[in-house]
Amino acid sequence: MVSDRLQQLAQQTQMRETPGPRPDWQNLRSVIGLDAPADYKELIDTFGAGAFNNYMQILGLGERIQAFNLTENALYWDEYLKEEWEDLPESMPDQLQGRTFTVVNWATTEDGTQLFWIAESGKPSSQWRIAFYNDAGDRWEFHQQTTVEVLTALTRGELPTSLIPAFPPGEPVSYTQYR
């Protein structure tokens, strides 16, 4: 049974359930050392990885297109940003300073905004903040909501953000699976 929040997102974006084998979550955990948030796993297990209006791509496990493969790309930005912050510590956002965390990339937009889970040491994945990052101008935004809550608010145009443009009002937002 699909959670109420995910059901709302699915109805709003005409998501269709994906038949077939479920992703190997243990493999993801062994590769990146972390477990994905439960609502993200429910999204991928039920509807598969895909894109909203071919604009915002949700990464998935085992995707053939490497750019959309969570297992291969989840930690790219963590490594890149930590190197940058080592060289330029003042470039680290205030919200992250003094904390132990891993930046996990789980979605991206066509214009280069990355969506991250900020996997803070000692916090369960249900409490991770979500960050939006665009390296053009080195801009960050932080949201204390779950993955599905953020996606629902974005697709409804209800999430205050300057990094991801609102979907056109009055036009349907659709979800297209990669497979």
Q: What is the mean pLDDT of the chain?
A: 93
* Residue bearing the bigger pLDDT, 116 or 1: 116
Residue 94 pLDDT grade (very low, low, confident, very high; cuts 50, 70, 90): very high
**Which pLDDT value is given to residue 171?**
86
Tell me the per-residue pLDDT of 114-139, one tens digit each, with 9 for 90 and over.
Answer: 999 999 999 999 999 999 999 887 89
Statement: residue 107 has pLDDT above 80: yes
Q: What's the rounded Cα separation, in Å, for the pair 18 and 1?
A: 14
Predicted local confidence at residue 170, as pLDDT: 81
- In the chain, where the domains are located: 4-177
**33 C-beta neighbours (distance < 10 Å), count:** 12
- Say what percent of the chain tops pLDDT 90: 85
DSSP 50-68: EEETTTEEEPBTT-SSGGG
Residue 28 pLDDT greater than 90, yes or no: yes
The residue type found at 157 is: G
Q: Is 80 helix (H, G, I), strand (E, B) or coil?
A: helix
The candidate with the shortest Cα–Cα distance to 26, out of 81, 76, 73, 71, is: 71
The phi and psi torsions of 41 (rounded to 5 degrees) equal: -60, -40
Look at residue 134 in the predicted model and tell me its pLDDT.
94
Residue 126's φ and ψ, nearest 5 degrees, are -70, -15
The per-residue pLDDT for 1 is: 66
User: In terms of Cα–Cα distance, which of 155, 145, 148, 115 is closest to 14?
Assistant: 155
Torsion angle (degrees, nearest 10) of CA 32, 38, 40, 42: 120
Q: How large is the average pLDDT for residues 49-67?
A: 93
**61 pLDDT higher than 70:** yes
Residue 64 pLDDT level (bands cut at 50, 70, 90): confident
CATH for 4-177 (3.90.1480, 3.30.720, 3.40.1580, 3.40.50): 3.40.1580
First vs last Cα of the chain: how many Å apart?
Answer: 22
